[in-house]
Amino acid sequence: MYGMVNQGVQSFITKNFGQADWLDVCDRAGVSDTHFEGMLTYPDEVTYKLVGAICEKYDMSAEDALENFGAYWIDFSRTTSVGKLLRFGGQELADVLDGLNDMHSRIKRSMPHLQPPRFELEEHEDGTYHVHYSSDREGLEHMVIGLVKGLAKESDVEIEISQDPEPAYDGVRASFSVRIV
């Protein structure tokens, strides 16, 4: 993953708990370099170890840690060049969700090693949505839940989101039902 993700994890911890906690998380994760360069790639294992250390330190599940970080990522990304690209998605939640692949395509121009997830949005007549998520990376589904919640908050709407028991079709890692309340 690009270092920007690990910078987001660092920001999440330092803003909520302080620098000493960040250093402790890194120590628990066995990560000796506590500073990440946003445009450099790091093994995915580093990020997974940081999440594991957060779970250990704060006695929380990986699902909760990833969901909280996903929601935080939306605010954090606004402080980076990615934030400007995210605004091109539109103001309405459906427009933003529908524009995620285009946003990742634009980002990939400056981050050629980016392996972004893919999203497909289905809108239903009853006002619900299905978000289909595909990724080469395992175990990040709850981060997607947090991301969608963060995007909904930014769009000034309340949502209910749940992961469907099975992906909608082959090639999709997970499908989510989203309802604006």
* 3-class DSSP state of 157: coil
Q: What is the pLDDT of residue 79?
A: 86
**In this structure, are 86 and 46 located in the same domain?**
no
* Mean pLDDT score, 24-47: 94
Q: Which residues pair with 123 in a beta bridge?
A: 129
CA–CA distance, 137 with 18 (Å, rounded to integer): 29
**In this structure, are 83 and 25 located in the same domain?**
no
> Which of 36-40, 92-96, 112-116, 138-142 is predicted most confidently?
138-142
The sheet that has 118-123: what strands, in order across it? 118-123, 128-134, 174-180, 159-163
Q: What is the pLDDT of residue 171?
A: 73
**Phi, psi at residue 63, to the nearest 5°?**
-60, -45
Q: Nearest-CA neighbor of 50 among 122, 103, 1, 94?
A: 1
Structural contact between residues 3 and 40, judged by C-beta atoms closer than 8 angstroms: yes
- Please report whether residue 69 resides in a domain: no
**Phi, psi at residue 98, to the nearest 5°?**
-70, -25
Domain containing 49 equals 3-60
Look over the chain and give the mean of its residue pLDDT values, rounded to a whole number. 90
- Please report whether residue 118 resides in a domain: yes
Whether pLDDT at 84 is above 80? no
Q: What is the pLDDT of residue 65?
A: 98
Whether pLDDT at 8 is above 90? yes
Q: What is the band of 157 on the pLDDT scale with cuts at 50, 70, 90? A: very high
**In this structure, are 100 and 133 located in the same domain?**
yes
Q: What is the band of 86 on the pLDDT scale with cuts at 50, 70, 90? A: low
* Number of compact structural domains in the chain: 2
Q: What is the band of 85 on the pLDDT scale with cuts at 50, 70, 90? A: low
Q: What is the pLDDT of residue 106?
A: 76
CATH number of the domain where residue 101 is located: 3.90.1520.10
Cα–Cα distance list, 2 to 9, 43, 68, 151, 166 (Å) = 12, 9, 20, 21, 29
> Which of 64-68, 79-83, 98-102 is predicted most confidently?
64-68
